[in-house]
Amino acid sequence: MSHKENTAEVESSNMTGTEDPTNDEMLVQTDVSDGLSASTSVSETTNAETIIRADDINVWYGDEQALQNISMEIPENSVTAMIGPSGCGKSTFLRCINRMNDLIDVARVEGELTLRGKNVYDDDVDPVALRRRVGMVFQKPNPFPKSIYENVVYGLKIQGIEGDYDEIVEESLKRAALWDEVKDRLHESGLDLSGGQQQRLCIARAIATDPEVLLMDEPASALDPVATSQIEDLVEELAEDYTVVIVTHNMQQAARISDKTAVFLTGGELVEFDDTQKIFENPESQRVEDYITGKFG
């Protein structure tokens, strides 16, 4: 299976880094240079640095196993798509990355998931601190019942980030391609916007705090085709500065916007993980081919 080869390959290049006690310093350095490398980076995923590495992740909801032995490497400054039929665990995996599963009483996660080499399931990791570095956009647009402005600055306020809020709001809304539509009514309720605008507001809210990773859980599934294509364009742009991990049930969407694609199939199994082009043109697994060509799922 190709994803195993792939994993092994990147692992060998990464193993020493993970095990190295000086890794924390490297972490800091990567952080500092992040802004520089981001602006010049091209979505050339094969050479990109791995930012998230899952190693043998298993998730249970009560007695039911939702994910089985998931291992994958997600490269930096790229779009990684997770596709698969309903209930295959793709959203569950996404929620492992920022430990949102912690909020579900019956959920249990086993295995190792590292963000820049640090296992986020270590006892000393604060999920609140983790979520400040890993932003999330949800399936259903969920702006707070506050003004557009207050929505965008919410993360800055709770995280105690100081700065010129007006400027950050403008910049975040511009990057979320919403500025022109709302610049004259920043102090009206975010709930008065259309569904597509609300979702872009949620994206602006998520990027205002400048996280390293942006998780998106079917961000366009509740939107009409026009709004969907706006979100897709946006995702491709965001990947220049952020690592985007996106769950989608729309295979065309995955093919259009992602650099790498992970195919989950029923039972919480990661069947194949590879470059998007390879997955869609020449998948290793027959099951993946059947799924992609619409024979099931």
Partner 1 sequence: MSTDDLETDLTRKTENSPRELLTRSFFFLCAALSVVTTISIVALLVTEAAKFFTLTAPLMGVTGETASIVDFLTGTTWQIHNKEFGVLALVSATLMITIGSAIIALPLGVATAIYLSEYASKQARSVLKPALEILAGVPTVVYGFFALIYITPAIGVVLPGIGTFNILSASIVVGIMIIPMVASISEDAMSAVPDDLRQAGYGMGATKFDVSTGIVVPAALSGIFSSFILALSRAIGETMAVTVAAGAQAKFLNPLDPSSYLEGALPMTAAMVQLLTGDITGGGLAYRSLFAIGLVLFVITLIMNIISDYVAQRYREAY
200 binds partner 1 (CB under 8 A): no
156 vs 270, which CB is nearer to partner 1?
Answer: 156
CB neighbour class for 25 (10 Å; exposed up to 12, middle 13-18, buried from 19): exposed
105 vs 180, which CB is nearer to partner 1?
Answer: 105
100 binds partner 1 (CB under 8 A): yes
70 vs 130, which CB is nearer to partner 1?
Answer: 130
- Shortest Å, Cβ 117 to partner 1: 20
Stretch that binds partner 1, among 33-41, 52-60, 95-103, 165-173 (CB under 8 A): 95-103
146 vs 256, which CB is nearer to partner 1?
Answer: 146
155 vs 283, which CB is nearer to partner 1?
Answer: 155
98 binds partner 1 (CB under 8 A): yes
Instruction: Please name every residue paired with 115 in a beta bridge, in sequence order, or none if there are none.
Output: 52, 118
Residue pair 251/70 in contact (Cβ under 8 Å)? The answer is no
* Rounded-to-integer distance, Cα 102 and Cα 95, Å: 9
Task: Please name the residues in contact with 45: beta carbons below 8 A apart, sequence gap of 6 or more.
Answer: 75, 78, 259, 260, 275
* Rounded-to-integer distance, Cα 222 and Cα 219, Å: 7
Please pick, from the candidates 3, 90, 200, 205, the single residue that binds partner 1 as defined by CB under 8 A. 205
Q: Helices 165-175 and 148-158: crossing angle, nearest 10°?
A: 110
* Rounded-to-integer distance, Cα 197 and Cα 72, Å: 33
- Shortest Å, Cβ 216 to partner 1: 11
Q: Give φ, ψ of 59 to 5 degrees.
A: -130, 135
Residues 69-88, interacting with partner 1 (CB under 8 A): none
Binding residues with partner 1: total (CB under 8 A)? 26
Beta strands in 76-168 (DSSP E): 79-83, 107-115, 118-119, 134-137
**What is the 8-class DSSP label of residue 32?**
H
- Shortest Å, Cβ 134 to partner 1: 9
Please pick, from the candidates 158, 166, 233, 267, the single residue that binds partner 1 as defined by CB under 8 A. 158
The whole-angstrom distance between residue 99's C-alpha and the CA centroid of its chain comes to 12
- Shortest Å, Cβ 148 to partner 1: 14
- Shortest Å, Cβ 138 to partner 1: 6
Which of 287, 285, 245, 257 lies closest to 54, judged by CA? Answer: 245
- Shortest Å, Cβ 142 to partner 1: 4
Q: How many CB atoms lie within 10 A of CB 153?
A: 22
- Shortest Å, Cβ 205 to partner 1: 7
Binding marks (x or -) toward partner 1, 124..153, rule CB under 8 A? ----xxxxx--xx-x-x-xxxxx-------
Residues that bind partner 1 (CB under 8 A): 98, 100, 103, 128-132, 135-136, 138, 140, 142-146, 154-155, 158-159, 191, 202, 205-206, 209
